Structure 1
Amino acid sequence: MKLRSLVLLAAASLLLFTACKNSKSPDLLVPKEALMAIHINLESLSSKLSWDEVSKTNWFQDIAKEASTDSVAKQLLAQPAQSGVNTSKSQTFFIASSKPRSFYTGFEGSLKDAAAFEKFLHQVDKEQKASFTKEGDLNLASSNEDVVIAWNNSKFLMLGNFGADKYGIPGNDGPYSSGNPLTVDSLKQIAVNLFKRKGDALLGSDKRFAELVTDGGDLHWWGNYVSTIFNEYSGGMLSMMKVNLLVENTATAATISFDNGKITARSRQYVGKEVTNLFKEYEPKPISEATLSRLPASEVLAAGAFSYKPEGLKALLQLIGMDGMVNGFLGRAGYSVDEFIKANKGEILFAISDFDLKRDSTAYEDFDGKKSYIYRNEPKINFVAGTSVNDKEAFNKLIGILLKETDKIDQAKPNVSYKLGDSWFATGTSTGEVDAFLAGGSKPAYASKIAGHHAGFYLNFNRLFSIMQTIKEYEKADAASERWQSEKAMLDASASFWDEVVANGDVKNGVLTSYAEVVLKDKNTNSLVQLNKYLDKMYTLRPKEKAWDMSDAELTPIPAPVDSAR
């Protein structure tokens, strides 16, 4: 087994809930400039799902069978701790940039037995293709697969080339437009330098990150990539404005926890001083249940609400120096930012009640002159949406401008109904839905779940899977096929597992926070235990792929449909 493959397998095994005690110290071997970091709290995870439970799954057993001829892999799967890694502390995966458009990945952790770890690496390198060197008290192992592993007596670090050459942004001229992949020698030097870093040079010194990884959750996600990507890829007009104020000192911190019957996610968005002050000054009002009473009371697929202060949009444009440009653009249509602010009150609602696929076909002549057909499913969505109106006359002017612009493009004409009331504008797939929205007074059961926040979202898995099951029935002609049977069974299993998603967001004292719950049907069992069983069931039910053999292929024309939708 190749060094890269087995090392990745080792990392995965060590992350899969090995029994351990988590260190609360944020002193991790992660550079402060890391664009993204995932910190895994193994103590918490292993208290909810044991390695024994994972090893009994069908997918794990299949992996074990494939590794049965490799003694090292077999041992690693059975007892991951024998690799020498200290399973009493958590590990961290991260992505960082060493120079413009050159990204690398890292996986760091602690060692319990450095000699055992080195022995493990030599066992992996059966073909002796890896290079083992030493620099001071730091050991280095590398291969031609762009993997470098560095370790001393207490810590290990695995680095890999992120493949920036594959992720270069097209159309962006410059010496790094197609990416700048790192060589093995470069990765070695990065590893050596990381081991020399102390204190403020490490991510653990960032108070925001330190608070994140010590909050007791199961998984911690840190994102600090927006400003780096903006600085590396922006240019031209953006560099002459103050758009950078939107990304300066930004970071996202999120915690995921596996609780009984649900998976929860809490996040906090950090922004710069200027944007924080703007959020404080233009904090919106919470969405009330009275406002949400305009949404359908019937079972919906999804619904959402958003509250904002229109005046804040103008302040934001002025802050980043784009107010003149936006006014110039709107001015061509005879409108302005001030008129938009005057027209809107700052509340937006929407609900999707149904989703369907309309079967259609197109006939064509193939190469031998025979008629064949291309089938397609055209989506059809039933929805209603609306926005609160501050000044009816100003809003009516906005509608007129939008209609005039869409008239210029035939494909842009929406087949929807709309109506402007005294305090709300509503649009939807039917006049009845629009009228009901403007009338209000309904009592949707989901309203209380998203009310009281500045933003809210609701997704009904029961409705979603019901729609998907109906759509699946359209393919009933294929019911005898193994693939159809497998996909139908997976769909039914999912319908009995997932319940709903409820998410909300708030802006308080200039700080953006959000909270989301993915609720399961079983409210009493831990969600991680349930996920382990669910994923194993999906693995068991999945369609079994067959190897493609051209000798078995027989090209036949597609028969004409019995009833064309055209």
Structure 2
Amino acid sequence: MFSKFRLIPALVALAFLISSCGSNAPKEARFIPKDASAVLVVDPKNMEEKLEKSGISMDTLINRLFKRNGMDTTEKSMFQSIKDSAGMDWTNKVFLFALQNGNANTGKSTAVNLIMGLKSGSDFEAFLKRQSGLGTKQVEKEKDYSFLVTSSESMIAWDDHNVIGTFYQNEVKPYYDTVAMKFVVPEKGNTDSAMRAEVKRYFTQKKDASLASVDAFSKMFKTNADGYAFASTNSYLNVLSAMPLQLPKLEELVKDNYMAATLSFEEGKIVATTTTFTNPFVSNLLKRYAGPTVNLSLLEHYPSENINMIMMASFNPAIFGGILKELEVEGVVNSFMDKTGFSAQDLYKTLKGDIAVVVSDLGMPGKEIGVKNDSTISVSRNPIGKMIFIAPVGDTASFAKIMTKAVELGYFSKQGNTYKISSKIPSLGLYMHADEKNLIVASDSLTYLQYVSNKSKAVVGNDALNLFKGKSTVAYFDIANTIKGFMNSTGSNYQNSMSSAKNILKDVIATTDNFEDGAIKGKMEIRLNNEKQNSLATLTGLFTDIAVDMRMAAKKESEQSMFPAGVPAIIRTN
């Protein structure tokens, strides 16, 4: 008797093990081919629950989106009809995925697909038949699904549980006929039959041909989130096969690298996490040439209290040499570069591996008004701001070789131990100073002098700086201050949206770690000014203003089209 009870813990442990090892991929994964280049997933149920906790129902949200549009109820009525009587299952995740076949030399096809859940396939079919816009188009049947071709480049297919909407494009590339001595544009293939075959593949493919068999895709759904994203490098293999020069191990470098990301609406911020899974070839390179972390001292003395954007990266330059060696092309590259006077090694050893870009004080100056030949008035404004790009020098001998060659070619001039942009080369208004310590490009000479004086102090929040520490790459963007700098200087139709965005959105911080445990992990936070409310609920106000502004802009454009073009004294903003 007791021996039977002793088996219970073992059986429970076994059941737990089986369940934990099982696939976490949603059932819709069986429709998505393994060679899909990108997949986006949204969980409407999760998002609806978060809105309801904040006191916002779906009906309230729909009414907000269509507010100030009482004269036109057609779109709102259609929206409600799809929501309530099309047989849709809004508790299911929504999938958007894209595929590309062919290559740049022979032409390529692109398919963009949307998968949604159904409560009833028959209700969905009845809904389609009620739509006058589909005219006389007929529903066709296959063994496992029904479908309706809505145009030469789009169709809808469904079974009892899912519907897939497909947009399909077939591109052809002209080729040169050496006999006729002219370019020839090939005839397009039968797009309709190709599109039907592509959709049939989704419904009939085996599991091992779909993303349901890819562990990196399945593991992504272990995390409860509001949205997911997945990308694969396998879609580039077709492009590689068409390259005129076939590198020995390039396919090993490219294939089976995956990026999985989750997105969640939290209180006061939107959080996205990314994990990049690399194949053994890439993993070995990243282990062997592990990089340092960002050098925050490059940011410390930036001369501004109004920073708009920061981008920093730190890496081991020797990884470029490692890639050339592993691809077995180092000798080919060096022989190609013999005439330059330096080697590939000189090229990547030039920089230390720390890079920083800082942009600040963005805005618009006053108006510059001019009269064009057609008597119309032109109002032009060019953005202003400050910028520093800095990259510390690595091997000074290699740097001297590269810069000496650049001076010979007329790109730079040498003054003592420093290099500057040659007067023969348009500098785009930028100022450059390079020496044996740093390569610095600035928006102007004053910004450069203020930066190198080390007397200024960049104003960056400690919360952001703490997130930067120990990372291999960082990015920062001050949304509110940037919008503020441009908001009142344009005649945009989206002033309400811009004002809402300025009041709602604060900034964006993104970071990535160095390679560890077989993956590269990253994180991005979009921070909002209201730290107490769920970010999705807060954003509904912005969505509402964008929807209203879009409708008002469309109405304004429609009214303007009633007047003849070329009316004198029309003010145009460039």
Same fold (TM over 0.5): yes
Return closer, same or farther for 1:520/1:266 CA change in 2, 3 Å cut-off: same
Cα deviation code 1:513-556 (max 9, x no counterpart) = 32111111111111211222112123334543343456555633
Please tell me whether the aligned partners of residues 396 and 420 of structure 1 are also in contact (alpha carbons under 8 angstroms).
no
SS in 1 for 2:305: coil
The residue aligned with 1:156 is 162
Q: Does the CA-based 8 Å contact 1:387-1:424 persist in structure 2?
A: yes
Report the CA distance between 1:489 and its aligned residue: 4.3
Distance 1:157 1:409, change over 3 A: farther
Structure 1 equivalent of residue 80 of structure 2: 77
- When residues 547 and 343 of structure 1 are mapped into structure 2, their CA distance, relative to the original with a 3 A threshold, is same
Specify the alignment match of 1:384 in structure 2. 388
**C-alpha displacement at 1:77, in angstroms?**
0.9
Q: How far has the Cα of 1:503 moved from its partner?
A: 0.8
In structure 2, what is the Cα distance between the partners aligned to 1:32 and 1:448? 39
CA distance in structure 1 between the aligned counterparts of 2:70 and 2:200, rounded to whole angstroms: 34
Find out whether 1:445 has 2:460 as its counterpart: yes
Letter paired with 2:394: N
Q: What amino acid is the match of 2:43? A: N
Tell me by how many angstroms 1:456 deviates: 0.6
Partner of 1:47: 49
| Compared CA separation, residues 468 and 348, structure 1 to 2 (3 A) | same
Cα distance between partner residues in 2 of 1:177 and 1:246: 34
Distance 1:556 1:285, change over 3 A: same
Is 2:101–2:238's contact at 8 Å kept on the other side of the alignment? no
> What does 1:54-93 align with in structure 2 at a 5 Å threshold?
54-59=61-66, 62=69, 65-67=72-74, 74=77, 77=80, 80-93=83-96
Which of 232, 235, 238 aligns to 2:242? It is: 235
The aligned counterpart of 1:428 is: 442
**C-alpha distance in 2 between matches for 1:379 and 1:75:** 42
- Structure 2 CA distance for partners of 1:268 and 1:302, relative to 1, 3 Å: same
1:412 maps onto 2:415 in alignment: no
Matched residue SS, 2:156: strand
- The aligned amino acid for 2:97 is F
Taking a change above 3 Å as real, the CA distance of residues 86 and 379 of structure 1, as seen in their structure-2 partners, is: closer
1:254 CA displacement: 1.9
Moved more, 384-393 or 95-104: 95-104
Structure 2 counterpart of 1:338, which letter? Q
Partner amino acid for 2:386? N
Match of 1:491 among 469, 486, 498: 498
SS in 2 for 1:163: strand
User: Equivalent residue for 2:280?
Assistant: 273
Tell me, in whole angstroms, the C-alpha distance in 2 between the residues paired with 1:342 and 1:158: 51
Q: For 1:221, which of 197, 207, 229 is the aligned residue?
A: 229
Candidates 532, 538, 545, aligned match of 1:530:
538
| Higher mean C-alpha displacement, 226-235 vs 454-463 | 226-235
Is 1:426–1:438's contact at 8 Å kept on the other side of the alignment? no
Are the aligned partners of 1:357 and 1:379 in contact in 2 as well (CA < 8 Å)?
yes
Q: Deviations over 1:343-376 (max 9, x none)?
A: 322111121123355665777655xxxx777554
CA contact (8 A) 2:116 2:164 kept: no
C-alpha distance in structure 1 between counterparts of 2:135 and 2:446, whole Å:
73
C-alpha distance after superposition, 1:179-204 (max 9, x if no partner): 96763344334444432334212212
Match of 2:26 in 1: 26
- Structure 2 counterparts to residues 444-523 of structure 1, below 5 A: 444-446=459-461, 447-469=465-487, 471-472=489-490, 486-509=493-516, 511-523=519-531
Evaluate the alpha carbon distance shift between residue 468 and residue 104 of structure 1 in structure 2; reply closer, same or farther with a 3 A threshold: same
In 2, Cα distance between equivalents of 1:237 and 1:85: 48
Provide the C-alpha distance between the structure 1 equivalents of 2:81 and 2:376, rounded to a whole number of angstroms: 55
Instruction: Give the secondary-structure state (helix, strand or coil) at the position aligned to 1:85.
Output: coil
Q: Determine the C-alpha separation between the residues in 1 that align with 2:376 and 2:85.
A: 61
1:118 shift after superposition: 2.6
Distance of 2:392 and 2:328 partners within structure 1 = 28
User: How far apart are the structure 1 equivalents of 2:496 and 2:176?
Assistant: 46
Between 1:298-307 and 1:87-96, the stretch displaced more is 87-96
| Residues 281 and 25 (structure 1), Cα distance of their counterparts in 2 relative to 1, 3 Å cut | closer
Distance 1:192 1:365 in 2: 58
Secondary structure at 2:163 match in 1: strand
Contact 2:102 2:239 in 1 (8 A): no
Normalised by the length of structure 2, the TM-score is 0.77
Distance in 1 of aligned mates of 2:71 and 2:568: 42
Question: CA, structure 1 residues 431+85, in 2 after alignment: closer, same or farther (shift >3 Å)?
Answer: closer
Distance in 1, matches of 2:498 and 2:535, equals 19
**C-alpha separation between the residues in 1 aligned to 2:84 and 2:274?**
32
2:93 alignment partner AA: S
- Unaligned 5+ runs, structure 2: 1-22, 52-56, 413-421
- 276 and 24 in structure 1: CA distance in 2 versus 1, 3 angstrom threshold: closer
Query: Which amino acid is 1:556 matched to?
Result: P
**Residues of 2 paired with 1:508 and 1:233: CA distance?**
26
From 314, 320, 323, the counterpart of 1:313: 320
CA–CA distance in structure 2, aligned partners of residues 343 and 77 of structure 1: 61
**1:204 equivalent in structure 2:** 212
Please name the residue that 2:37 is paired with. 35
**CA distance in 1: counterparts of 2:373 and 2:42, whole angstroms:** 57
Please state whether the residue corresponding to 2:282 is helix, strand or coil. Answer: helix
TM value normalised by structure 1: 0.78
Structure 1 residue aligned with 2:310, among 303, 315, 324?
A: 303
More deviation, 447-456/398-407: 398-407
- Cα pair distance change 1:138/1:437, threshold 3 Å: same
Kindly provide the CA deviation profile for residues 48-86 of structure 1, in whole angstroms up to 9, marking residues without a partner as x: 234223212143784994427xxxx83761572532233
CA offset at residue 240 of structure 1? 4.2
Alignment of 1:160-179 (within 5 A): 160-165=166-171
CA, structure 1 residues 189+331, in 2 after alignment: closer, same or farther (shift >3 Å)? closer
Cα pair distance change 1:39/1:171, threshold 3 Å: farther
> For residue 448 of structure 1, what is the amino acid of its counterpart?
N
Q: Does 1:253 align with 2:253?
A: no
* Counterpart secondary structure, 2:559: coil
Shift of 1:305: 1.1
Name structure 1 gaps, 5 residues minimum.
Answer: 1-22, 473-482, 560-566
SS at match of 2:216: helix
- 1:556 equivalent to 2:550? Answer no
Q: Which amino acid aligns with 2:136?
A: K
Q: Per-residue displacement from partner, 1:476-532 (whole Å, max 9, x unpaired)?
A: xxxxxxx56x54444333222221111111222352232111111111111211222
Flag the 1:218–1:169 CA change in 2: closer, same or farther, 3 A. farther
Q: CA deviation at 1:171?
A: 7.9
Say what the alpha-carbon RMSD is for the aligned residues: 3.8
